[in-house]
Structure 1
Amino acid sequence: MSNDTTNGKHHEGDVAFIQSLAELLNASELSEISVKREYGEHDRLTVSLSKHARQAVAAAPMQMAAPAAAPAPGAPAAPAAPAAAGSEDPASLPGAVTSPMVGTAYLSAEPGAAPFVQIGQTVAEGETLLIVEAMKTMNHIPAPRACTVRRILVDDGSPVEFGAPLMVVE
């Protein structure tokens, strides 16, 4: 159903585009996709897709975290520690540093470079812990206070959601 006959041709392409976005959302760890397109005076496409799986991602690490844990040999031991301690959500741990946005986490300034921080390292307030890239913008995530890095909860290059725990510091 289009508003005028000139949009009829775009309608089928738009439906296919939206279906491919939905498939991308389901196949990835993304929680939201938003697209805005405006060409002419009356030609406009605004799409916003989201899946409300934030709790499912945190509560079911076996489904989402297992593939990401395979490349990092130390990662399987880290999720086992909070489960054994009775803490279901790393974001609820004291000293959890969470993502302020949806994006991609990077542990170093560029591929092959040394990571910003390592487990056990003491950092000053405001020192960069990692970067979250969102919309081609590199957002430095600073240490909230002078602290020691206790756990790194994300892999380099992994997608993160708003509020997702990135590191635990104390």
Structure 2
Amino acid sequence: MTKKNQDADVAFIQALAELLTENDLTELEVMREYGDNDSLNVRVSRAQEIVTQVAAPVAAAPAPVAAAAPAAAPAASSSEDPVSHPGAVTSPMVGTVYLQAEPGSPAFVSVGAQVKEGDTLLIIEAMKTMNHIPAPKSGTVKRILVEDSSAVEFGAPLMIIE
């Protein structure tokens, strides 16, 4: 695939994401064919559903883990992929991360901060739209895994809340 096709595909996917939002759709799937043995299959879905599904099992997990092996939890989180951590908050979309509302203002959260379910953790800019990412549960911010103004992909771990 050429660089020109890649750029066109990125623009196409961004347009699909915008179409999804503007029409309040939950999922959109498209197949684009370029010729023999060259096609692009794209599936775009809203992240709110995924965040809700991930948050439900996590709510019950911290109590047994903390009670059963408090020393084992930090060791496991450092050796495992952060996305598999039970307190991981993952990106619901592709975009640019901002840790504060505007340059020069204080960050929404910092390591060690207490958050309540629904508090804004950060903003992800996608298609010139600022999307506030809420905390899926109450707890303490243990790790921030992204830097301000960095690009993130769908499903990438953003931070750990325990």
| TM-score band, normalised by shorter chain | 0.5 to 0.7
CA drift of 1:33 comes to 1.4
Deviations 1:101-130 (A, max 9, x none): 011111000111110000000011100000
Partner of 2:79: 86
- For 2:75 and 2:10, locate their aligned partners in 1 and report how far apart those are by CA, in whole Å: 31
Structure 2 counterparts to residues 11-160 of structure 1, below 5 A: 19-20=3-4, 22=6, 33-35=10-12, 85-87=78-80, 89-160=81-152
Aligned residues: 109
Partner of 2:159: 167
Contact 2:91 2:156 (8 Å CA) reproduced: yes
Contact 2:89 2:157 (8 Å CA) reproduced: yes
Contact 1:82 1:90 (8 Å CA) reproduced: no
Deviations 1:69-121 (A, max 9, x none): xxxxxxxxxxxx8799431x210012000000011111000111110000000
Percent identical residues: 58
2:10 partner SS: strand
- For 2:78 and 2:139, locate their aligned partners in 1 and report how far apart those are by CA, in whole Å: 22
Give 5+ residue unaligned stretches, structure 1: 1-14, 25-31, 38-45, 51-80
In structure 2, the CA distance between the partners of 1:163 and 1:112, relative to structure 1 (3 Å rule), is: same
Deviations 1:23-64 (A, max 9, x none): x7xxxxxxx713389xxxxxxxx99979xxxxxxxxxxxxxx
- For 2:12 and 2:77, locate their aligned partners in 1 and report how far apart those are by CA, in whole Å: 41
- For 2:4 and 2:76, locate their aligned partners in 1 and report how far apart those are by CA, in whole Å: 36
- For 1:90 and 1:99, locate their aligned partners in 2 and report how far apart those are by CA, in whole Å: 12
Q: Which has the larger radius of gyration?
A: 1
- For 1:158 and 1:49, locate their aligned partners in 2 and report how far apart those are by CA, in whole Å: 26
Give 5+ residue unaligned stretches, structure 2: 16-32, 42-73
- For 1:97 and 1:149, locate their aligned partners in 2 and report how far apart those are by CA, in whole Å: 10
Large movers: runs of 4+ above 3 Å = 46-50, 81-85
- For 1:107 and 1:145, locate their aligned partners in 2 and report how far apart those are by CA, in whole Å: 18
Contact 1:150 1:169 (8 Å CA) reproduced: yes
- For 2:75 and 2:103, locate their aligned partners in 1 and report how far apart those are by CA, in whole Å: 30
TM-score (norm 2): 0.57
Q: What root-mean-square deviation, in Å, do the aligned CA atoms of Structure 1 and Structure 2 show? A: 3.4
